[in-house]
Chain A
């Protein structure tokens, strides 16, 4: 029995390390896959892409709402060291501009309320900035209420005014 103490201890240590490693890294792994997949489907880094109306054949992320129109922008602050400027154009129904970090946390959301909204996002290492992102990479999402084809057509027009861009010069 004594001979099994060593293997048992090693088994427990490896089991716990595996368990907590999977739980800890699963969100960032899934988020990284979503980040990559959005890129493969046409969402560039630092540019908004309006997704087609959410239908079974157009959905790309789990549990999309078919009543909402989604515009996504991927951010990578290692390629935008001065930060990112984001503008959500005005829309006359529910809209929101939300920011997700690499751990899947929704770290900021700005509601549209019929107005244009502008937000600056700065790199995490600029800790004195109140608008610093928690991670270098993440996803920015605009949701606009669009239950009908007519609503979606209005979103198409509104989305032309959305901006997601790297800031070229320091303010």
Chain B
């Protein structure tokens, strides 16, 4: 009987360790914000194996959890970041300046998601900034900018609402990337910067 209990105890420990390590390594634990990726451009992380059979089992599981139905890289590439330019995690309590220029793709967008990988629960109708809004700003050199904040900063200008987002992240999509993007992403993509402006309560 004692021998049987020993086996049972060790079996439970083995299953527990195996299960937990799988969930952790595949990004399946609650609150895991690591989207991961082999490519890093200015704190934006992406992996061009997304959506394809070439993805490793761990990455495929992570994408199933955090980005199900993602397109393969010939149609779209995705980058995600969870921190501002100085490396501090994004939070609803702070405002940020998102800015960039011309992107090497037919269409692009930056969208805000909450910790559960969903659009945050607000009715601001301002959860994304895309190429059409950048074009509407009409800058000759293609430069554009938008504010990320819980309250609308003004009637004019780009805005992404972080209301009810808690600790959020941003996903940068490039649809129909230009030739060369898949081979030389770091050289081709001038990824948007995200500068922290101010925080509620006067935190710096």
Contact = CB atoms under 8 A, between A and B. Distances in A.
Contacts of A27: 60-61, 63-64
Contact of B66 (A3, A13, A62, A107): A62
Interface string B52-80: 11010110110111111111101100000
A56 B119 contact: yes
Nearest to A104: B64
Interface string B6-41: 110111011101110111011010000000000000
B7 A61 contact: no
Given A18-B22, A31-B68, A63-B67, A109 B122 contact: no
B65 A14 contact: no
B121 A18 contact: no
A64 B109 CA distance: 12
Contacts of A96: 71, 75
Contact of B25 (A23, A31, A100, A141): A23
Indicate the member of A14, A96, A98, A105 with the most B CB atoms within 10 Å: A14
A26 B72 contact: no
The contact size tier of chain A is 35 or more
A102 to B, nearest CB: 11
Contact of A54 (B23, B55, B119, B173): B119
A127 B177 CA distance: 32
B21 to A, nearest CB: 6
A62 B68 contact: yes
A107 B71 CA distance: 9
A147 interface: yes
B120 interface: yes
B128 A65 contact: yes
A19 B21 contact: yes
A101 B6 CA distance: 43
Interface of A: 3-4, 6-8, 10-24, 26-27, 30-31, 34, 54-57, 59, 61-67, 94, 96, 98, 100, 103-107, 109, 111, 139, 141, 143, 145, 147
12 contacts: A7-B7, A18-B19, A27-B63, A27-B64, A56-B121, A56-B122, A61-B69, A63-B171, A67-B111, A96-B71, A104-B51, A104-B69
